[in-house]
């Protein structure tokens, strides 16, 4: 694995010596870097993050890490073929489909939030919200894993 030497990495790619395991490691680190950066620096950042904000971030990071790894395993791991092509294309379509499901979930959560807050100030970070979004993300990755397993050829 190269962290700085782009020329050596390009030589490895050109000579077709970058195998599925190598590609997975680069993709996994890139994905995790993105999700951790998002969780640490997303805007607007609550002034005083609650335990629920922290729990939501931790659950999201863990779900993405475990889900991406399980998707790699479902594809056959080192013996699998074209993990990145399958992962990114299938996860895009699954995410679009799950986003449609998210719309009614957001409406229901907004309704409950207005009932619970009583003053109509909008979303507050409550345990129900954290659990619903964690479940949504887990189901999203479960669906991605299922579809990758169904197209596995090895």
In a domain, 11, yes or no: no
DSSP 119: S
- The residue with greater pLDDT, 33 or 46, is 33
In a domain, 109, yes or no: yes
Q: Which domain holds residue 73?
A: 27-151
In a domain, 2, yes or no: no
Q: What is d(CA 18, CA 32) in angstroms, rounded to the nearest whole number?
A: 20
Interval 6-20 mean pLDDT: 89
pLDDT at 124: 56
In a domain, 6, yes or no: no
| CB 83, CB 144: distance < 8 Å | no
In a domain, 7, yes or no: no
- The residue with greater pLDDT, 17 or 141, is 141
Q: Among 24, 27, 22, which Cα is nearest to 12's? A: 22
- The residue with greater pLDDT, 133 or 117, is 133
Q: Among 137, 110, 150, which Cα is nearest to 126's? A: 110
pLDDT band with cut points at 50, 70 and 90 for residue 69: very high
In a domain, 53, yes or no: yes
In a domain, 66, yes or no: yes
Interval 92-121 mean pLDDT: 80
In a domain, 15, yes or no: no
Domain count, the chain: 1
Please classify residue 62 by burial: count the beta carbons closer than 10 Å to its beta carbon, then call 0-12 exposed, 13-18 middle and 19+ buried: middle
pLDDT band with cut points at 50, 70 and 90 for residue 122: very low
Q: What is d(CA 120, CA 130) in angstroms, rounded to the nearest whole number?
A: 19
């Amino acid at each position: 694995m190269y962290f700085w030497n782009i020329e050596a990495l390009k030589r490895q790619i050109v000579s077709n010596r970058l195998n599925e395991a190598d590609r997975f490691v680069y993709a996994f680190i890139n994905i995790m870097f993105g999700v951790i950066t998002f969780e640490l620096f997303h805007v607007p950042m609550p002034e005083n993050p609650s335990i629920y904000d922290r729990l939501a971030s931790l659950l999201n990071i863990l779900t993405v890490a475990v889900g991406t790894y399980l998707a790699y395993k479902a594809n056959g791991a080192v013996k699998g073929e074209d993990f990145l092509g399958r992962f990114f294309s299938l996860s895009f379509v699954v995410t679009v489909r799950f986003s449609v499901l998210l719309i009614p979930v957001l409406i229901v959560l907004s309704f409950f939030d207005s009932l619970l807050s009583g003053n109509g100030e909008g979303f507050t970070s409550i345990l129900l919200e954290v659990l619903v979004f964690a479940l949504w993300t887990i189901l999203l990755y479960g669906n991605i894993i299922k579809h990758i397993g169904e197209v596995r050829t090895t």
